[in-house]
Structure 1
Amino acid sequence: MVAMEELRQRASQLSSSVTTEESCTKLAEYVLALSSKAKPADDPRPTLLAIAACLRYLDRLEAHDDDLSVATELATWIAKLIAPINTSAQPNQEGSLPGYGGTQEDDPYDAVTKRILPLLEPGLTALTLLANHFPNDLPDLLKDDTLITLISLSDLSALSESWSTPTTVDLASKLLTSALASLPNPNPTDIIGHYLTSYLRPLFTASRPSTVTPAGRPTAFPADELDRPQGLPDDSRLTKPWKYVDLRAIPVLSFAGLKAPQGDTINWPLYVPPLLTLLDDALTRVRVKGLQITNEFLRKLPAEKPRETGLASVFEDAIFPTMGYLPSLTPEEESLLLLEPAFDALLTLAEQLAASERQDPQTPSSSQKDTGRILLDKLLRHGVFTAYAHCPEKPRIVALLMRKMSKIVSSLGIRAVKHLKDMVPMLKVVMTDPFAYASVDTLVEAIGALEVVVMNCWPRLLLQDGGEGWFAEVLGAVAVAWLSGIDYLGEAEEAAGKEKGKDEVERKQREVERVRVALNRVLRSLQGIARDGGEDGVDQGLDLVVVELRETGLFKSLVPAGAQGDDHLPVV
C-alpha cells in the first residue's frame, strides 16, 4: 500500500498542473522520450508513479485521434517494464550464463523478483487506468505480449510466485479477465491453444526430452541409453530460455493447465513436451512447479488417454526419479517440496488408469490390465518403503510418507494385504519409538495410517500366524504408543513447579489428547474386527488389553461392551 500512498500524493501535486491544452498523446510522448534517455541503473518506479498519477486525470485531457495508438505504445512499454524477464545477465561467448546451469546460483528468479516487485503496483495501476479509459478498445490496447505478462502476474494458478502480492494479483487478475473477455474469440480452448502454440512451443523446443516427438506424442522407438547425450546436460539460456530469460513461461503453462477444458477437447499434445521438460529439470523450484502442473493436467485428461496413448509410462518414468530426492543428498526442505506433488501426480495417474479400466474392462492385452493397481504397488514399494528406509530419522518426511501411504492403501483396498509384511513393522517402529512424542504430528499420521491399514486389510489381520495374523503386532504398537504418552505427561508434571511449568503441561496434554483420539479410533476398529471376525481368542485377548488400558484413565470409552451391558461399540 506504500505505492498507492505515493500515487495519491503525486496525483494531488499533479492535478493542478494538468490542463485541457495537454493531451494523452503529449503525455505518452513525453514519458517515452524520458524513458529512452534513462540509464539502465535508473529506478523507473518514480516514472511509473508519475504516469499513474497523470492517468487518473485523463478525463481532463484533450482527446486526439491517435490517442489509442500512443496509449497502446505506452501500455506496451509499461508491460515490458514490469514483465518477469531476466534483462540483467549477459551471455558469454557460448551463450551460457556464468557458471554451470541448474544451480541455485545461476537461477535468475530472485534477481528478477527483486527488480520488478516495487514496479508492479504502480505499473498495473497505470495499465488499469488506461484500460478504463479505452474500455471498448482493449484488444488493440493490450497486445499479445502484454496479456502474457498479465497472465504471469495474475497468479491464477496459485503457484504463489515470489513476485505476487495480494494487491498486484488482484489488479492483474481483474485486468486480465476484462482483456480476455473482450477478445474477438473469447473461447478458453482457443485462447489456451494460441499461447501454447505461439508462445510456449518456441521456448521449449530446444530442451524437449527425447521420450516424445515434437508433436508431443510418445516416441515409438525411444533412444537407447548409449545413444543419449552423456555428461552434464546443456543447461543454458540458449537451450532453456524459459528458465533463464523469460520467466513468464511457467506461470503461463500453469494457466493453460488450470483453464484447460475437461475431457476430449483438451489439446494434450501441446502440453506434454513442456511438462516433461520441467519434470526433468535439476532445479527444485522448476521441478516442483512441473509436478504441480502435471497433476492438474492429468486430472483434465480423459481417463482413457494415458493408457491408450502411452502417456502413462512416459509420465511415470518422468516423475519417479523425484522419489530419490531425499536427505542427505537433498536438503530436507527441498525433499518435502518435491515429494508432496510427486506423490500427488502419481496417485492421480493411478486413479486415471483405474478409471479407464473400469470404463473399458476388455483391455486388448494382459499387459495393460490392472495398470492402476500395479502403479500403486510400485508407489508403495519404491516410494514409501524405500524413502522410509533411506531417512527414518527425518520426522517431517516420515509424516508425509505416512499420509501418502494412507491414500495409497485406501485406493488399493483389500489388495494392499500383500504389503502387510512391510507396512505393519514400519508403523510399529514409528509408533513405538521412545522419542515419538518429540514429533506428535508424525505419530498422529502414523496412527492414522494404521487405522487405514486395519480398515482395508482386516481379513488378513485374523487369518495368519495361528489365527491372529498381525493383530498382536498392531495391538502392541497401540499399547506402547499410549504408555509412552503417559511417560511423556509424567515428565511434564514433574516440571510443573518450575517456571512456565503449567504451560508446558497444558501443551503436552493437548498433544497427548490428539494421540489418544487417534488411538481410540484404531482400537474401536480392532474391536469391531475381533468381534465380527468370530475369533473368540482374539476378542478375549483384546478385551483384556482394553481393561488394562482403562486403568490409565484415558480409554474408559473402550471398556468391553459386556461390562457396560451394551452390545454397541463405545464412542470416543
Structure 2
Amino acid sequence: MEEFQSVARECLGRGDAHIPDSRLDNVVVPRELDHLWDTISAHEDKDNATVSEDLFLAREFLRLRNSNELSEPDVAAANHIYAWASRHALPSAVYAESMEEPNEEKNALMHEDKLRSLLAISVIAALDSLFPVYKATDVPNIILALASFTSEADPWTTAESHTASIAILERFRTSPRTPEASFWAVLETILKDRIRPLFTRTRNPAITAAGRKDMHPIPLPRFDTSILDPESKPWRSSDIYATTVFAWVLRQYQALDINILESHFPLLVPPILALIDDETNPNKADGCTLLTHLLQPIQQAKSDILKRTNLSSVFIDAIKPCLLSLPTITPEPDSIRLLSTAYPTLFLLLKTSYLPKDKHTYTTELTKVLRENLIPSFHHISTLTPSSGTQSTLSSFPHPKLSTLLLNKIHDSLFDLAVHTTKYLQEIIPLIYSTLSNPFGTAYPPLLLAGVAVTRAVIMNAHPRIWRWRGEILGAVAACWLSVADEEAAERGKGYEKEDLIKLKMQLKGVVYLLRMVLENPDEQIAKDDEVIEAKEGFAKEVEELVGADEALRELLLGEVDGKDGMYFGA
C-alpha cells in the first residue's frame, strides 16, 4: 500500500489525470477497502494538499480494484469513505462574496479547493459503481455533496464534477432499488437538517415557524444590525453551497408530487424569502428564480396551498421592492438581470394565486403592477431632455435595453388584462408615442420593435376605444417610419441592424393594417355612434392627407399587407 501511495502522490504532483499503466507494472493494488480507509484515516485531514493526495489515492484504488465483491469490513470502510469524501466535496468559504478584488493568494486557494472537490466527487462516483449510494449509511450527506455541483454557474463547479454529480443523482432517483418514499425522505432530511438551519437565522416577521403568513407580525427594528453580521447569513459567508442544493431540491417537485410538496412547504418558504429580501441584487434574482421553481408545480396541480397559507401577499410584498432597482442607483446590467426575473415571477405568482377562480382580484393586482411599477419605471429611466432652459417632450432613452425590457413586460400585461386595457389608454398611448417618435430610436432597433409590439397589443385588446386615439397612433407610426427611412438612406448600421429595420418596417405596416381593420369593423355595440361612424368613414381621407403631406409615407399607409403573413404582426 505504501508503494501504491507513493506512486499516486507522484502522479498527482505532476498533474496526471490517472496513474499511467507504465507505473502499475510493479505495483500491487490491494483488494481490501479497509486497508485503504486505514491509510486515509491516519492522516486526520491535515490540509488541502494531504486531503487531495488521499482523494487521488482513493479514486485510483477504486478504479483499479479488480473485484466487485465486498466483505463486511469492506462495507464498513465504504461507508466511512463515502462520509469522508462527501465532507471534502463541499466547497469552502473561500468562494464567499468579498469586497476585495481576487488576488493571487485567493486564486491559488480556490484552485486547490476546486481540485479537492473534483477529486472527492470522482471518489463518490467510483464508489457508487462498486457500492451504490442507496446502500450507504448516510445517504442525505452524500446527496447534499452531489447537489452542490448541479449548477455550472458556480465558481467551484467544473464540467467534470457537474457531469458526474448529475449522473449519480439521476441514477439515485430513477433506480428501481430506490423507493420513491426513500428519495423524498432524503430530501426532507436535507431540508430540515442542513438547509433550514442556515436560512432561519435570517429573521422574517411576515411568516410563522409553520411557513404561514403571520397575521400579527412584530416589526423588525428600523435599523436591523443583524444584517451586518455574517453569522446571520451563513449561506453567504460559509455554507455557500446551500442555495445551489436548495435549487436542486426545488427542481425535483413535479405536479404529480404536489402532496409531498405541500408537506415540505414550510421548509421551502423561508429560504426563498430570505434570498428575495437580501440586500444584494444577485441573491434577489436567485430568490425570484427559486420562487418560480416552487410555483410551477403548484400551478400545474391547481393547488390552493398559497390561499390556505395566506402567503400570496407575503410573496408579492417581497418581490415588489425588487422592481425599484433602477438606474441610476442600480447599474443597468444589474437592473436588467433582476427585473427580467422578478417580473415573470410576479406574473406567475398572480396567476397561480388567483386564476382561474378569482379573475377580478387577478386583474386588480395586475393593474397595480402596470400602473405602479411598469409605466412609472419606464418613464423614470426614459428621462426628459432639457432644451433651451425648458422641459422638452423628447425622451432620451439613456437605458435602451432596460426600456425594451419594460416595454416587453407591458406588452405581456396588456394581453392578460385584455379588454381592461381600454381603461389605461391615456397612460399607455403617450408612452408608445414617445418611444416610436424618438428620432434616435433607430440606434437601438429592439426598442422600437418593443414599442410596435405594445402598439399591436393596445389595438387588439382595446379596439372598442381605439378610434379615439387613431391620430396619436398614426403619428407615432409615421414618425418611426420616417426615422427608419432616413437611417436606410444614410446607409448606417451593421448587417443585423439592417435586418431589424426591415423587420420593423414590416411590423409598422402591420400596425396600420390592424388599425384600419379595427376602424372599419367596429363592435356592434358602438357601431352606430356618430364619432365611430365618422372615424370609420374618414380614416381613408386622413390617410390620404398624410400621404399628400409626405410621399415617403405611401408604402406605410397604402402599401399591400398580407394579413396571413405573421411577419407583419411580430410572429
**TM tier relative to shorter chain:** 0.7 to 0.9
The corresponding residue for 1:122 is 119
The corresponding residue for 2:499 is 510
Is 1:222 aligned to 2:217, yes or no? yes
The corresponding residue for 1:240 is 233
AA aligned opposite 2:503: R
Query: Given that residues 148 and 248 in structure 1 are in contact (C-alpha distance below 8 angstroms), is that contact kept between their aligned partners in structure 2?
Result: no
Query: Given that residues 528 and 569 in structure 1 are in contact (C-alpha distance below 8 angstroms), is that contact kept between their aligned partners in structure 2?
Result: no
AA aligned opposite 2:134: L
Is 1:327 aligned to 2:327, yes or no? yes
The corresponding residue for 1:81 is 88
CA distance in 1, matches of 2:292, 2:495: 41
Matches within 5 A, 1:41-60: 42=49, 45=52, 47-59=54-66
Residue aligned with 1:19, SS:
coil
AA aligned opposite 1:322: C
Deviation at 1:542, TM superposition (A): 5.8
The corresponding residue for 1:26 is 35
Of the three residues 132, 135, 144, the one matched with 1:139 is 135
The corresponding residue for 1:98 is none
CA distance in 1, matches of 2:181, 2:545: 67
Is 1:375 aligned to 2:365, yes or no? yes
AA aligned opposite 1:461: I
Structure 1 pair 354–64 and aligned structure 2 pair: CA distance change class (3 A)? closer
The corresponding residue for 2:5 is none
More divergent stretch after superposition (122-131 vs 424-433): 122-131
The corresponding residue for 1:199 is 194
Deviation at 1:472, TM superposition (A): 1.1
Query: Given that residues 89 and 116 in structure 2 are in contact (C-alpha distance below 8 angstroms), is that contact kept between their aligned partners in structure 1?
Result: yes
More divergent stretch after superposition (278-287 vs 402-411): 278-287
Of the three residues 377, 380, 398, the one matched with 1:387 is 377
Is 1:338 aligned to 2:343, yes or no? no
Residue aligned with 2:227, SS:
coil
AA aligned opposite 1:193: E
**Any gaps of 5 or more consecutive residues in structure 2?**
1-11, 383-397, 523-532
CA distance in 2, matches of 1:544, 1:570: 26
Deviation at 1:239, TM superposition (A): 1.7
CA distance in 1, matches of 2:564, 2:284: 51
Is 1:450 aligned to 2:431, yes or no? no
Deviation at 1:68, TM superposition (A): 2.1
RMSD: 3.5
Structure 1 pair 394–103 and aligned structure 2 pair: CA distance change class (3 A)? farther
Structure 1 pair 232–388 and aligned structure 2 pair: CA distance change class (3 A)? farther
CA distance in 1, matches of 2:563, 2:128: 71
Matches within 5 A, 1:149-548: 149-155=145-151, 160-180=153-173, 181=175, 182-186=177-181, 189-224=184-219, 228-262=221-255, 263-267=258-262, 268-301=265-298, 302=302, 304-358=304-358, 370-392=360-382, 393-462=398-467, 469-492=468-491, 504=493, 506-533=495-522, 535-541=535-541, 543-544=543-544
Structure 1 pair 114–405 and aligned structure 2 pair: CA distance change class (3 A)? farther
TM-score, length of structure 1 as denominator length: 0.81
Query: Given that residues 427 and 450 in structure 1 are in contact (C-alpha distance below 8 angstroms), is that contact kept between their aligned partners in structure 2?
Result: yes
Query: Given that residues 547 and 557 in structure 2 are in contact (C-alpha distance below 8 angstroms), is that contact kept between their aligned partners in structure 1?
Result: no
CA distance in 1, matches of 2:566, 2:169: 56
Query: Given that residues 312 and 349 in structure 2 are in contact (C-alpha distance below 8 angstroms), is that contact kept between their aligned partners in structure 1?
Result: yes
CA distance in 2, matches of 1:353, 1:287: 21
The corresponding residue for 1:39 is 47
Residue aligned with 1:327, SS:
coil
CA distance in 2, matches of 1:255, 1:474: 48
AA aligned opposite 2:164: L
Query: Given that residues 207 and 214 in structure 2 are in contact (C-alpha distance below 8 angstroms), is that contact kept between their aligned partners in structure 1?
Result: yes
AA aligned opposite 2:378: Y
CA distance in 2, matches of 1:75, 1:567: 65
CA distance in 2, matches of 1:184, 1:355: 35
Residue aligned with 2:136, SS:
helix
Deviation at 1:211, TM superposition (A): 0.6
Structure 1 pair 204–555 and aligned structure 2 pair: CA distance change class (3 A)? same
Residue aligned with 2:66, SS:
helix
Query: Given that residues 445 and 497 in structure 2 are in contact (C-alpha distance below 8 angstroms), is that contact kept between their aligned partners in structure 1?
Result: no
Deviation at 1:570, TM superposition (A): 11
Deviation at 1:64, TM superposition (A): 4.7
Query: Given that residues 95 and 156 in structure 2 are in contact (C-alpha distance below 8 angstroms), is that contact kept between their aligned partners in structure 1?
Result: no
Query: Given that residues 207 and 240 in structure 1 are in contact (C-alpha distance below 8 angstroms), is that contact kept between their aligned partners in structure 2?
Result: yes
Deviation at 1:229, TM superposition (A): 4.9
CA distance in 2, matches of 1:414, 1:114: 58
More divergent stretch after superposition (472-481 vs 551-560): 551-560
Deviation at 1:347, TM superposition (A): 0.2
Of the three residues 54, 61, 77, the one matched with 1:70 is 77
The corresponding residue for 1:500 is none
AA aligned opposite 2:521: D
Query: Given that residues 198 and 233 in structure 2 are in contact (C-alpha distance below 8 angstroms), is that contact kept between their aligned partners in structure 1?
Result: yes
Query: Given that residues 216 and 272 in structure 1 are in contact (C-alpha distance below 8 angstroms), is that contact kept between their aligned partners in structure 2?
Result: yes
Structure 1 pair 44–524 and aligned structure 2 pair: CA distance change class (3 A)? farther
Query: Given that residues 279 and 290 in structure 1 are in contact (C-alpha distance below 8 angstroms), is that contact kept between their aligned partners in structure 2?
Result: yes
Deviation at 1:163, TM superposition (A): 3.3
CA distance in 2, matches of 1:560, 1:62: 78
Structure 1 pair 532–164 and aligned structure 2 pair: CA distance change class (3 A)? farther
Structure 1 pair 213–114 and aligned structure 2 pair: CA distance change class (3 A)? farther
- Runs of 4+ in structure 1 over 6 Å off: 110-113, 566-571
Task: For residues 158-209 of structure 1, give each alpha carbon's deviation from its aligned partner in whole angstroms, at most 9, with x where no partner exists.
Answer: x833334443322101111223444455465444333222322222222130
Structure 1 pair 68–569 and aligned structure 2 pair: CA distance change class (3 A)? closer
Task: For residues 360-406 of structure 1, give each alpha carbon's deviation from its aligned partner in whole angstroms, at most 9, with x where no partner exists.
Answer: xxxxxxxxx72211111111122211211221121111011011111
AA aligned opposite 1:129: A
CA distance in 1, matches of 2:549, 2:121: 64
Task: For residues 135-163 of structure 1, give each alpha carbon's deviation from its aligned partner in whole angstroms, at most 9, with x where no partner exists.
Answer: 3x6331663212111112123xxx83333
Residue aligned with 2:122, SS:
helix
User: Taking every aligned residue pair, what percent have the same amino acid on both sides?
Assistant: 22
Deviation at 1:210, TM superposition (A): 0.5
Is 1:16 aligned to 2:28, yes or no? no
Deviation at 1:231, TM superposition (A): 4.5
Structure 1 pair 569–505 and aligned structure 2 pair: CA distance change class (3 A)? closer
TM-score, length of structure 2 as denominator length: 0.81
The corresponding residue for 1:96 is none
Residue aligned with 1:238, SS:
helix
